[in-house]
Amino acid sequence: MAALLVSVAKAITSELGSIDLSESVEIVRSYADWQAKLEDFETGLRLDVVPVDCPFEQQSRGKYRYECVVNLLLRRTLDPRTDRHLSDGRIDPEVIDGYVEDLQTVSEFFAPNQPSYDGRKLTDVSDAAWIAETTLLPTARRSGVAAPYSQEMLLKDQYSGLVTVVYRVVRSR
């Protein structure tokens, strides 16, 4: 049996198979080296699904509440010939705007569509429930867009944007 955090990350990866973004996307579950530049031959969007943390607390005898935090990193290599303004060499903001919109789509993919509803259910971890933020860590981690872009990665001709997703699972042993 896999660790709960790994099971939730795998389930999120599976659910993302039906997401519709502006262009095709390669979805990869990994323990990403986010500072690494994508290879020049990689084209299209890449979405890394990265398990981050899964704190828990005991609720009663033999019953535990887990809050699994998973980061989703959307990346795309930028083409300096087409994604930059020819006159001044800066990255075309319209290009990045499109990727930020894709990132918002990824975030909204898991969130409830009405305040009274639950977020997306995970088919492969049926007892997992989307939550807005974890309360079991010293610093709260909220579900949603955590970083719409990385200035450091833009300087390396790569778009990178981060979404955090939190799922709660209550289990008895």
Divide the 173 residues of the chain into consecutive groups of 10 and give the mean pLDDT of each group: 90 96 92 66 81 93 94 91 78 92 96 80 94 82 92 89 95 89
pTM value?
A: 0.90
For the CA atoms of 40, 36, 48, 39, the dihedral, rounded to the nearest 10 degrees, stands at 10
- How distant, in Å, are the alpha carbons of 10, 28, 67 from that of 171? 18, 27, 11
All domains of the chain, ordered by start, with CATH?
A: 4-172 (3.30.2000.30)
pLDDT digits (tens, 9 = 90+) for 131-142: 988 888 777 788
Residue 170, beta-bridge partner list: 65
pLDDT digits (tens, 9 = 90+) for 23-50: 999 999 998 766 666 665 466 899 999 9
Q: Contact at 8 Å (CB) between 158 and 113?
A: no
- Closest by CA position to 80, among listed 72, 71, 89: 89
What per-residue string of b and e applies to 67-86 under the rule 16 or more CB within 10 Å gives b? bbbbbbbbbbbbeeeebbee
